[in-house]
Structure 1
């Protein structure tokens, strides 16, 4: 365990100076390509969320107070204040739990950074594709490094996507605004003042889970805007006695990660893309279920079962499967036993897997036969590993273990799989026709050539307006 010594000077100031020096020209070609792919993936996931529980209610709550604005609510096409747009679009990006994750840092990244950048650049109106990509890349870098530095944030009960995303979104928008080092410092500091985020919404199965990244995006945009106009924040927001490291992380941090190799080591290379629309902690369980299905095992064969995960994964997704849960969608998205049962039964896990009718169907009820425990041979904070042991009605016991996870850098999705997921999400949410999806895809993948990044939003809205579900 690394313990931070309060008062260690200038950590935040050094980070701000490092960020202010970075530009698009510092991004290696593969980092540019990955940033575009994850941008595409996130836009698809936002579109796929058009019918997600809580999204219509959130849009209504936010637009009741606003007649117009400079930035677009992507699910409705309404215009609003940039902070409102960042909130709505960030929530949409996370509402299906289909967005990317940095597995070791346990943060969902683009669902916060991209909505913040899009809301801010639309209000600016003259942001090039290269400047947008640089801002996104910087925000992603800060986010991943904060998650790695604050390595046990989730274990303390924080939702690090919401909490650390606030600071990261501010860094991204500060880069978009081309703020100097001092104002970048104050943007992140003002974001820290607004920091929040709790895993209680997971434990309670609340729709607030999907809104957390929206809160982070909103606060980051607001912080950068205030800093641009001269408002100051606590410059020791990381290292101070009441800063992030001590107040929130209780000294359990590795602060050197924030600056080591910045501009040379790019953490976007470590991001995982999700093949399944649910908590990343259950993805390996899904793969094991598909392996069992290929062997001919069905739910009818199972008398009982045990799912073994790392301790932190067990805390997040290890509750018993409850078909009568008052909020079945969030419950199922964070339930290893249901994920196993659905994958074994259907041979796939897609957006419709996490609808109330599917969750409450009789053929997945056997998920309640499973117990989820912490595995003694898995690192407590490890994300990928899982083991499933089945006790069959014929007396046999079967066991399978996987140590890697689909979509991670060591088992990545192909570009064609990314494109297919993008198209499927837009078709699910909007009924988008193939030509419109292709036009948006091509625009994203050429974003570094675009004189204005705002064309992305126009093409996204075309996907919505021309869709069969419009």
Structure 2
């Protein structure tokens, strides 16, 4: 009698649940800190207010509503937390999967971890394993580049579900049901990037909530299909029919875990703008912006499809504008949140420089996408002289990483943008960084609650 080969789903579960090295546990705390900064910075934005009205908190603060839900309703908490990570375009990224895992996985794991106290290392281990699942699934899905589906929603739900299941300490036999019920709830299509609105935020919010729900269902004995990913009518066949599911269970690479290959975003703009920003910041000291006659950006096709917006009129449009990002980088250096809001959108000097930016596809850079996100820049002055730079890996990529100090500074700046006082922000920073040695998440809960304390209206950032 011959043995039946294990399903790829079973192998995936075993890969994701192998022992996590200490260095990855410590790295996971930086992803959690980075994501917390992103949601704090966005807590007073229009999407937050709209979702708050929908979920019904008394005071209209979406994050406080999420925290208040955690003793009894982790799904609602995950929905609240999962709404805001992608608003300001500063969320973490895995290039090969075109996926922002933190938006869904951190939201689901935090909601589950605050529902009942869990050891700090357990929360961080859950994040590492959730990232592994989502990224492996996402890399199969994105093997041909972009599709009509928004991978952060459709693939992120699996990572959110596994992370929530790990926080709840579900048995390995239950994890198959966790993935099954996550797959039944996978959702998110890219029409949301073609029209204004908050549906992109809904996609990550729903994936985070669905991930928690999938873990709750599995814990209750609610069973599902074991071949949810690779079956003949499963996730890949239905959503990504051109993908090769054989890659799902590839042996771990030289870095062992997908989390090691993640990118952070130092600039509050679409990741497709970051190589151009990095290159322009590099050559800016040798350029007089007033004398610039032409800026040529050679990059990959997807970057142009997403970010060819020479005349942005809203903060969201500016964050998806290569022209605006280039003008800011030349005039001001590394962009900040304020450079994509308010007066920066109508500043005549910025507008004039935007009009001098020209985009073109570079075949070599395009062939490297999605595993590589690069750009090549040439700036021509009034005298015809040129300055050029290439950026195969932007600042924040694993080949050109942000330091822990860089990430802490980003978190504190984002917290400040969200109206969090310095003392509260530093206490939350310290609570997150201490998680590898924390006996439970009570200190994290207290620090998060203090950071969300009401602030005067005049102190709130736009």
Q: Same fold (TM over 0.5)?
A: yes
**Gapped regions of structure 1 (runs ≥ 5):** 1-7
The SS at the match of 1:120 is: helix
Partners of 1:176 and 1:329 in 2: how far apart? Answer: 36
Change (3 A) 1:458 1:289: same
Deviation at 1:291, TM superposition (A): 2.8
Give the equivalent residue in structure 2 for 1:302. 292
The question of 1:346 aligning with 2:339 is answered no
**Gapped regions of structure 2 (runs ≥ 5):** none
Work out which of the residue numbers 57, 82, 92 in structure 2 matches 1:90. 82
Work out which of the residue numbers 4, 27, 48 in structure 1 matches 2:20. 27
Deviation at 1:166, TM superposition (A): 0.7
Give the equivalent residue in structure 1 for 2:446. 458
Give the equivalent residue in structure 1 for 2:13. 16
Give the equivalent residue in structure 2 for 1:194. 185
Deviation at 1:150, TM superposition (A): 2.2
Give the equivalent residue in structure 2 for 1:111. 103
Deviation at 1:254, TM superposition (A): 4.8
Change (3 A) 1:363 1:84: farther
The question of 1:371 aligning with 2:362 is answered no
The answer to which of 387-396 and 416-425 deviates more is 387-396
Partners of 1:302 and 1:31 in 2: how far apart? Answer: 45
Give the equivalent residue in structure 2 for 1:43. 36
Give the equivalent residue in structure 2 for 1:169. 160
The question of 1:57 aligning with 2:50 is answered yes
Work out which of the residue numbers 395, 413, 416 in structure 1 matches 2:405. 416
The Cα offsets for residues 135-170 of structure 1, whole Å up to 9 and x where unpaired, read as: 111101112222222233652122211110011111
Deviation at 1:252, TM superposition (A): 1.8
The question of 1:231 aligning with 2:222 is answered yes
Change (3 A) 1:372 1:144: same
The Cα offsets for residues 302-334 of structure 1, whole Å up to 9 and x where unpaired, read as: 3343321112222222x232234xxx2221111
Deviation at 1:77, TM superposition (A): 6.5
The SS at the match of 1:173 is: helix
The SS at the match of 1:387 is: strand
Give the equivalent residue in structure 2 for 1:387. 376
Change (3 A) 1:264 1:390: closer
Deviation at 1:464, TM superposition (A): 2.8
Deviation at 1:236, TM superposition (A): 1.3
Asked whether the equivalents of residues 298 and 375 of structure 2 are also in contact (C-alpha less than 8 Å), the reply is: yes
Change (3 A) 1:152 1:264: closer
Deviation at 1:221, TM superposition (A): 0.8
Q: Which runs of 4+ in 1 moved over 6 A?
A: none
Asked whether the equivalents of residues 146 and 258 of structure 1 are also in contact (C-alpha less than 8 Å), the reply is: no
Deviation at 1:238, TM superposition (A): 0.9
Partners of 1:374 and 1:204 in 2: how far apart? Answer: 24
Change (3 A) 1:102 1:28: same
Work out which of the residue numbers 207, 210, 213 in structure 1 matches 2:201. 210
The SS at the match of 1:344 is: helix
Partners of 2:127 and 2:421 in 1: how far apart? Answer: 26
TM score, norm. by length of structure 2: 0.89
Give the equivalent residue in structure 2 for 1:321. 310
Deviation at 1:248, TM superposition (A): 1.2
Change (3 A) 1:401 1:238: same
